[in-house]
Amino acid sequence: MTSLDNVASWIAAARSVVALTGAGISTESGIPDFRGPDGLWKRDPRAERLSNIGYYLADERIRRESWQRRVEHPAWGARPNAGHRALVALERAGHLDLLVTQNIDGLHLAAGADPDRLIEIHGTIRETACLGCGDRRPMRETLDRVRGGEADPPCLACGGILKSATVSFGQNLDPVLLRRADEAATTCDLFLAIGTSLTVYPVARLPEIAKEVGARLVIVNAEPTAFDHRADAVLRGRAGELLPALVEGATPR
Ligand code: APR
């Protein structure tokens, strides 16, 4: 049996499957990743500064540039791809207990993922959050204000600094979501890491936790990751091709 057939049989037989996705599952929808060959951090190192909460709070120019990038974000025109849809099929066939995504593009929800089985652990670009009072609103309302000329729109509730409801470097993840993801990793017997370089903590701890409790670790990624040496199987290639083949093999008609 090929490695892919093995993994499909592991999925079919698993008691509890957890999947972790990263930017690599959305590149086939036209959203660049960060550290891949033409990733955002590679092409535009300045972009990384925009993702640091310290610079964002301190420098209005950083906020103005961030709002322009949010207006132009490729997520607005992106559609879920075959990789996203394959994970929904796996969930609906009863072979995916929890999907943790680092992505903020909302494409897993758009593909039909069950919100109760999805954790957007780095937040979402589809809402804004006030860094002062926590007020949350749909992103489209604030983007309309930016297009209307407000270059750095303040919170309508308290006048505070607004940001997308995403987790920037220097901000803490939601402890409740992180605990839920940790618990799922400690109780699963199969962990799928898909389209992620597994370089950003604390999320990159999840496959380690799964391995520590004896789960099998499968990595589906276009390039080597920091965890390949710990994986029980590495499927090298495009998620949009590999995931449908895995679902096909794990859920024979
Ligand atoms: N299929 C499979 N893998 C792919 C594909 C694809 N179509 N396209 C890209 N990849 C791989 C790349 O080779 C890369 O190893 O996906 C991985 C994406 O890694 P990163 O760009 O580091 O993205 P991610 O792991 O999600 O980053 C984690 O870092 O920048 C922060 O908060 C941001 O959530 C992000 C976090």
Give catalytic residue positions.
122
pLDDT at 15 over 90: yes
Task: Evaluate whether the domain defined by 1-31+79-122+173-253 bears CATH number 3.40.50.1220.
Answer: yes
115 CB burial (10 A radius; 0-12, 13-18, 19+): exposed
Q: Could you tell me where in the chain the CATH 3.30.1600.10 domains are found?
A: 33-77+125-166
Residue 45 pLDDT: 77
Residues of the chain with CATH 3.40.50.1220: 1-31+79-122+173-253
Q: For a substitution probing ligand 1, which of 196, 201, 225, 243 has the most ligand atoms within 8 Å of its CB?
A: 196
**Ligand 1 atom with minimal separation from the 169 CA:** 32
Nearest atom in ligand 1 to the alpha carbon of residue 48 is 30
- How remote is the CA of residue 153 from the centroid of ligand 1, in Å? 30
> Which atom of ligand 1 is the closest one to the Cα of 33?
21
Third-level CATH fold of 33-77+125-166 = SIR2/SIRT2 'Small Domain' (3.30.1600)
Residue 47 Cβ < 6 Å to ligand 1: no
The answer, yes or no, to whether any atom of ligand 1 lies below 6 A from the CB of 197, is yes
Per-residue pLDDT band at 26 (split at 50, 70, 90):
very high
Locate tokens 């974000």: which residue? 73
Is 29 in contact with 78 (CB distance < 8 Å)? yes
- The model's pLDDT over 38-85, given as tens digits with 9 standing for 90+, comes to 899 888 877 887 889 999 999 999 999 999 999 999 999 999 999 999
- 28 C-beta closer than 6 A to ligand 1: yes
Q: Which sign, positive or negative, has the C-alpha torsion 81, 40, 231, 190?
A: negative
Does 202 sit behind a cis peptide bond, omega within 30 degrees of 0 on the bond before it?
yes
pLDDT grade, residue 1 (50/70/90)?
low
